[in-house]
């Protein structure tokens, strides 16, 4: 079998050294008080710049969009400056990096929200999951339904965040429409019970996400924009009565906008790939841009998937935590270092920038 994983790939006018994507990984290392990226984060991403593409961790588009303590934002001048340090580091190492734009929706807590208000969601339906605030993990707060006249303001926040990402030096952006966060909450009928133009039919439930993408396209050329989806993932209590109906419609509309890529979590986020039936191959064939496949990919599954034409690029998440040189380890078929899960969300360099490369072992 040829080593397709290590072949170059072209996305629009970007040339990647290989088909390995570093998936976005929330690590909660942003600067306390400003939620700005910093020198520690710059070093972390620089170490992993051998990936063909890095998708930087989810970054809230506003304070309202935050769901966890110490996650980075992309809405203030300090945050733009912090991310510029990261992009400069990655580019100096020969890598490419794009930013994931994030609004968590109902997956938040009042202590993180402006004025201590309730998190927002398409409908006032709570999730039973927990989020991390400064003092530890707590139950998510009950959300309130977004008023119709609030939606344009949230769309505008995405537009501003997209503009800020360009100013910060990113090579593109990914709109986070997955994992039970705000756009995913609009898409799926288990969390969207609205009776207005943003609820009911798949067309209506896709409306908010498509408006966000249109706003982002006002700031970026389509080839530099992608969308992440998780059609059947039950994470954060998510469900839908007909995932193929809504997600095939959504992707059809994205294809018409000539987006650069879709990034698809196949199965349950950080869980079984076969959690529910879904025709990923048909979805891939319906989208003319690049298809990034994600979820529990091993080297063998990645090579098999690329050889069969089921994806263009393969995203690896957790393996990149403990293996800054994951690309080289995969190329050599070398053993992978194990993740210390006690330090994944810790503060400081431990378990973040201190994992050794293969040549240092």
- Residues marked active site are found at 181
Q: Is 18 exposed, middle or buried (0-12, 13-18, 19+ CB in 10 A)?
A: buried
3-state secondary structure the chain: CCCHHHCCEEECCEEECCCEEECCCCCCCCCCCCCCCCHHHHHHHHHCCCCCEEEEEEEECCHHHCCCCCCCECCCHHHHHHHHHHHHHHHHCCCCEEEEEECCCCCCCHHHCHHHCCCEECCCCCCCCEEEECCEEEECCCCEECCHHHHHHHHHHHHHHHHHHHHCCCCCEEEEECCCCHHHHHHCCCCCCCCCCCCCCHHHHHHHHHHHHHHHHCCCCHHHEEEEECCCCCHHHCCCCCHHHHHHHHHHHHHHCCCCEEEEECCCCCCCCCCCCCCHHHHHHHCCCEEEEECCCCHHHHHHHHHCCCCCEEEECHHHHHCCCHHHHHHHCCCCCCCCCCCCCCCCCCCCCCCCCHHHC
C-beta of residue 262 within 8 angstroms of C-beta of residue 254: yes
CA–CA separation, 142 vs 87, rounded Å?
A: 36
CA–CA separation, 294 vs 313, rounded Å?
A: 9
């Amino acid at each position: 079998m040829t080593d397709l994983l290590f072949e170059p790939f072209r996305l629009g006018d970007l040339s990647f050294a290989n088909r390995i994507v570093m998936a976005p990984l929330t690590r909660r290392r942003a600067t306390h008080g400003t939620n700005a990226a910093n020198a520690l984060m710059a070093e972390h991403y620089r170490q992993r710049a051998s990936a063909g593409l890095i998708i930087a961790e989810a970054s809230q588009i506003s304070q309202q969009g935050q769901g966890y303590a110490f996650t980075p934002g992309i809405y203030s001048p300090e945050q733009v400056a912090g991310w510029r340090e990261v992009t400069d580091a990655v580019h100096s190492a020969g890598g490419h990096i794009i930013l994931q734009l994030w609004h968590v929706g109902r997956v938040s807590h009042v202590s993180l929200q402006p004025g201590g208000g309730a998190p927002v969601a398409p409908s006032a339906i709570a999730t039973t999951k927990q989020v991390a605030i400064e003092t530890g993990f707590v139950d998510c707060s009950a959300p309130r339904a977004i008023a119709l006249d609030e939606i344009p303001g949230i769309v505008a926040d995405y537009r501003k965040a997209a503009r800020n990402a360009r100013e910060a030096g990113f090579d593109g952006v990914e709109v986070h429409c997955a994992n039970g966060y705000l756009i995913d909450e609009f898409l799926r009928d288990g969390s969207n019970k609205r009776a207005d133009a943003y609820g009911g039919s798949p067309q209506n439930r896709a409306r908010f996400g498509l408006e966000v993408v249109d706003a982002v396209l006002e700031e970026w050329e389509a080839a530099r924009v992608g969308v992440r989806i998780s059609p059947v993932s039950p994470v954060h209590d998510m469900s839908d009565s007909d995932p193929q109906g809504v997600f095939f419609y959504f992707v059809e509309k994205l294809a018409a906008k000539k987006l650069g890529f879709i990034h698809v979590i196949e199965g349950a986020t950080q869980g079984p790939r076969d959690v529910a039936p879904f025709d990923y191959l048909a979805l891939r064939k319906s989208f003319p841009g690049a298809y990034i496949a994600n979820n529990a990919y091993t080297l063998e599954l990645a090579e098999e998937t690329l050889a069969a034409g089921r994806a263009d690029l393969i995203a690896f998440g957790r393996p990149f935590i403990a293996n800054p040189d994951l690309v080289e380890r995969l190329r050599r078929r070398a053993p992978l270092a194990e993740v210390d899960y006690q330090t994944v969300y810790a503060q400081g360099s431990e378990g973040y920038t201190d994992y050794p490369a293969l040549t240092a072992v």
